[in-house]
Amino acid sequence: MTNLLNGIIILVGCAMVLYHLVSTQFVLWSTNHHIIAHLGFALTLIFLSTARKIQNKNWIPLVLTFMVGGIAVTSYMLIRYPHLELSIGFIREPIDWVVGILLVILVIEACREAWGIIFPTLAIIAILYFSFGHYLPYPFRTTNFPDDYILSNLGMGFKGILGTTLEVSANYMFLFIIFGALLGIAGSPRFFIEISKLPSRLLAGGAAQTAVVSSALVGMVTGQSISNVVLTGSFTIPFMKKAGYTPEQAGAIEATASTGGQVMPPVMGVAVFLMASLLGVHYIEIALASFYPAFLYFLSIAFSVQIIAYKNRLKSPKESLDMGEVVRWGPLFLIPLGVIFSLLLLRYTPMYAAFWAIMTVIGVSLFRKETRMPFMKLARGFGDGAVEASKIGISLAVIGIVVQTFHATGLGVTIAQLVESMSGGYLVVALLLSMVLALILGCGLPTIAAYAIVAIVIVPVMVKMGVSPLSGHLFVFWFAIVSAVTPPVAFAAMAGAAIAKADFWKTGVEAFKLAISGFLVPWVIIVWPSVTLQSQPLGQVLTGIIALPMALLALSIVMYNHFFVRIYLWERVLFILVLSLFTGFFITKVYAFFIPAVILEATLIIWQRKRWKARERFEPVMGSSPYPG
């Protein structure tokens, strides 16, 4: 039975991939038809994958019945599309009622099987609010909506389940997820792993820098955190432990670096495609705006792991770089990445860019015998990738229920007014509320869900208070991401701890410290828009390029109470003063803060390096040093 289900999943997955590839080159039918077909494929694959892994075989017929129901419902909607289009806003025929109710039930059940109970619970609460909100007291009381209006908004009227969020999955995300899966089976990770060995030959913290580099490279094309941890951590974590990092440090470094994959252009996390849709801008504009913030995030991690290496006096094992491996496997990563970037810069659609990136991977792999993918390996890769993409798609369908409830009932406006009232008109309070909400939601929901809810409810409040729409959305997006390394849940840290065989709580705390820049960069995006390529005077742009890395370095030094050597109390106080001066500069843009901060930090760095050199000269002769650390 399992083998039969595996074969069917591969067949359906390949059909789904082929359908989406063809749809990028030819207009097959309307957007709504395309979304319905996408949902039909997703429901089929999720129920099939559930049947494949189910333990109690007695439940398999029920799950397969759900699958048949999903095919029947979406087929009916495709066949009866002209009739349903004329019935938007009200439902009269009994068969439409049956199909509409089944659509909601099947989507919620598929989401439960793919993601657990939290998503479905949110959807059910939204439906109950839509149906019975008129019984609630002010300000949450709603209009007493007719039942057919509710069902139309939930899905049958091509809103809710079949709304904007699922359209993002069908038109943007799916092929990029397939592209990432294809790179994995083609062998590109061998290039990531090989090229990331270079830092270990140059820096004391090179073993950890290997994790930072490899996770950034993988994150460019996968846009995932946990899968990134699993893919690169199997190599980097043992390497870091061998170099002398504790299991908790190794797991935390990998988790934190992998989490940054969601902010690393050109692909980034899947939530960015939803952001582009909500903002009404081309995806490449968000990707370009995210380059420098992503660089700052990874730079801060690099600072921290280097300080840990100095603090623990680690000497990295010298891993030899096999240039032959780089030459053999590099084109599989670099050429498709160049294709994506070029086409996006030329303003082609993300779907079109993803199509040619996939074709390029397959084409480049054919040039060498060792990189050629056998047909069945390629088919399995398409099948597995389609299943993962379907899980994300079904989560977006359920998010659509929540989003449409916010819109149709006015709940979004109500909550926005409450947030504005609670903030007292102060932007910083509104930002704090959105930060906390994104972090809390991100602990239990995928990034895209946490981002969508907060972006729809609170970002309009930020914009009303003077924040640019792009800055507001990126602010929320970042906090939804760093929740992956924020205790008490910290899913990415959990994965890193499992591979490192480390204590989860200690790993989570270490990851939180390493990711501190992820909590600061969003605030910088608000107060210093030039980091996202938004217009500012040239002087502010140049000083920001200098001040931001220096501020992040000072923060890492204060966090670990160490730089080249352990810092004295008076040095710590001065580094805190440096941070205060830079903060004042970012907020006020007054150069009287910037110049003393730069001079003071440069002086402290020179002093630290002198102490380190003195220790290095003294210890080989005397066996100890008068300098602490």
pLDDT tens-digit map of 314-328: 766 666 666 777 777
Question: What digits encode the pLDDT tens for the residues 597-628?
Answer: 999 999 999 999 998 888 777 655 444 444 44
Query: Tens of pLDDT along 90-145?
Result: 888 899 999 999 999 999 999 999 888 888 998 999 999 999 999 999 888 999 99
Q: Inter-axis angle of helices 516-527 and 469-482, to 10 degrees? A: 170
Cis ω for the linkage preceding 146 (within 30 of 0): no
Smallest Cα–Cα separation from 97: which of 149, 45, 136, 50? 149
Question: Are 231 and 187 spatial neighbours (Cβ–Cβ below 8 Å)?
Answer: no
Neighbours of 172 (CB within 10 A): 20
Mean pLDDT, the chain, whole residue set: 86
Mean pLDDT value across residues 335-342? 87
Peptide bond just before 139 cis, omega within 30 deg: yes
In 3D, which of 506, 612, 553, 563 has the Cα closest to residue 245?
A: 506
- Number of helices and strands (H, E) in the chain? 30, 0
Assigned token pair, 251:
């797991």
Other beta carbons within 10 angstroms of residue 274's beta carbon come to 27
Q: Which pLDDT score is estimated for 39? A: 97
Does the pLDDT at position 498 exceed 90?
A: no
**More confident of the two residues 116 and 488:** 116
CB 247 within 8 A of CB 319: no
This prediction's pTM: 0.81
**Counting every residue, how long is the chain?**
629
Indicate whether 58 pLDDT > 60: yes
Can you state the percent helix, strand and coil of the chain, rounding each to 5?
80, 0, 20
The mean-pLDDT minimum among 39-43, 244-248, 599-603 falls in: 244-248
- Quote the CA–CA distance of 370 and 525 in Å, as a whole number: 45
Residue type, 140: F
**217-226, 346-355, 558-567: which has the minimum mean pLDDT?**
217-226
- Which pLDDT does position 618 carry in this prediction? 67
pLDDT digits (tens, 9 = 90+) for 364-387: 888 888 778 888 889 998 999 899
